[in-house]
Structure 1
Amino acid sequence: MSTDQPTPTTPADPWAPPDATAAPHQPVPAPPAPAAPAPLYAAAPPPLGTPYTQGYPGAPAGTGYPSAPPVHPYGAVPAPGPYGYPGPLKYDGFAIAGFILSLVGGVLLAVIFGIMGITRTRGGRAKGRGLAIAAVAIGTLWFVAGIVVAVVVAVTTEPTSSYTVGDCVQLSVDGDAQLDDGAAPSLPMVACEVPHNGEVYAARDLPAGPYPGLQRVEQEARAYCTSEFESFVGLPFEDSQLSFFYVYPEQLGWGAGDHEIACVATAVDDVTGTLRGAAR
């Protein structure tokens, strides 16, 4: 049996006093402090609104992708002006009013409102441009039609009387019948040297103004012709063998400018010459 075995050692007692011969205690070094995290940006980020000149954090200026506009903290910055989508367009009131007036004959207002409607609906700012154009067109047609009617009436309307004292006329065969119906007979002018049966002995114009009415015009004509008969013939109408009738303007002729009433002395048989001073 070998006797060269190592001598067993007894573990040191943790509660034993320190050995004076041992080396002095060395302090344990503190662990190194953790390194500070690297900043996200190499420099302070630019203020809001400054265009970026770097493509990524920490990249040198002038490198990377082209600069992009800053991002608003609450999303995209809305464009200036009213927000949202425009509502549906409404019809322009002037265009509607002009179109209605053109249908009922309001010519002047229809044209004025139509022109205003065309201006207000220009560029699609409102609906009703077609109505405004129609108002101007219809109103213009009404105006032209009114002028045409006035010209036609003025040309085709013959005054009921256009006589001068001393004019000799030849009454139509049915003159008496026409007088009974209240209508003036046809009075073709003839020379007083040829046989005729009537002569104008008085004529005057009624006062200007609105048409006074058929009954009033007839009364004025009858009174005037009765009062003028004796001064022309030489005898009062009640004592004379002659008769008379009168012509006067009706409303259509009055509108055309005829305001004259004329008195015509008539004989039963044709006469030659004048009836002035005939005293019969």
Structure 2
Amino acid sequence: MAIPPPPGPDQPPYPSYQGHPQNTPQSHPSPYINPYPTPQTPYAPWPQGYSPYNNPTPVNGVAIASLVLGILCFLPALGLILGIIALAQIRKKGERGKGMAVTGAVLSTVGLALWTLLLATGGLTAAWDGFKDAANDSDSAFSLVKGDCFDAPDGSLEGIAYDVDTVPCSRTHDGEVFASFKLPAGSYPGDDRVTDIADDRCYALEDSYAMDAWAVPDDVDVYYLTPTRQSWRAGDHEVTCVFGSVDANGSLTGSLRKDETTLDPDQLAYLKAAHVLNAAMDTAPDEEYVEDDLPGHRKWAQRVTAALDEQARLLTEHRFAPAHAPSVAALVRDLRNARVEWAKAAQAADADTFYDHYDAGDKLLDVNRTITARKALGLATSPPSYEQGGSGDEGNDGSGGGNGDGDGAGDGDTGIEV
């Protein structure tokens, strides 16, 4: 038996034939098996080649789009369709993104079901309306709405303000919002024009919020928050009408709101009827003396006559509670008697005749003759101190006397620019 020589310095510790038959003796097969095979290459093979920059399998782009639409719940029907298309493309091309496509399709299906439910129940319309309201509210410098009470900077309702603090109306406050309106779009009309519009419109809107003018304290007048040239450029075109104290150190306590939200049906019917006459009284001619404009005063008397007819009709058609009916009926009799005198004044041939019938009708419309009905209805019973002349069973819109002369408690040319 041949014994292999010991390994030399240049020989491996074990003989290795490694499957090379030309080096293996045919007559003496080696009994030795090498337990340590010699690798054929110096490095382990790289599974995908030796290049570290080998391109991986791409992700399907349609699957990504489906997932994004599903998460955002935007165009859910499109997201579902894209998810189905992505799955087909992935199977055909061997691309990645199956999980994205499935997730996008599922989320889009849920979104589609929610959209269908919102459309069926009207929830989408309500949400859109709320969005539009919020957008409209953002056009105003202040987030004040009708019925809000607030404190102004330094307690003043005049000058320029950049912010106000909303407070409960039950506590003391500087102002109470009773109306708001938007100015026409376009270029800024100028400070004087904005003030004139605010003054006219706010006094006209006062009556719809504080329907019982007798309940408005004598020291309360109308103010307004108006846009400035700078805020106009930012989209602020809103005028906010406000009640405030004419006393620089004064304040308000409690709400002045007297409208359909706070009045009972009998009170509301009475005040609506009274406002018909007030509106007619407020159209008196600019000429104070009948001699200076007899035709104008005769036309005014015609308007008052028609208003007295309408007021009596409204009070008669409404079914007042038994406790209120007698005093209201007495008031209706006064209105009808006054109507006769005003009708004669409308036909007067000269100023003296006009005065005769005007005076007779004026006495029948004395504000004190309404106190009994007001007391029965639970309304204010103290006429405002600025009542002048005593004509009309009520004060007009709270800013002028019952004789329609339009003189207010204040000049109204006050307000905060925002």
Report the TM-score, using the length of structure 1 for normalisation. 0.37
Q: Is the helix fraction higher in 1 or 2?
A: 2
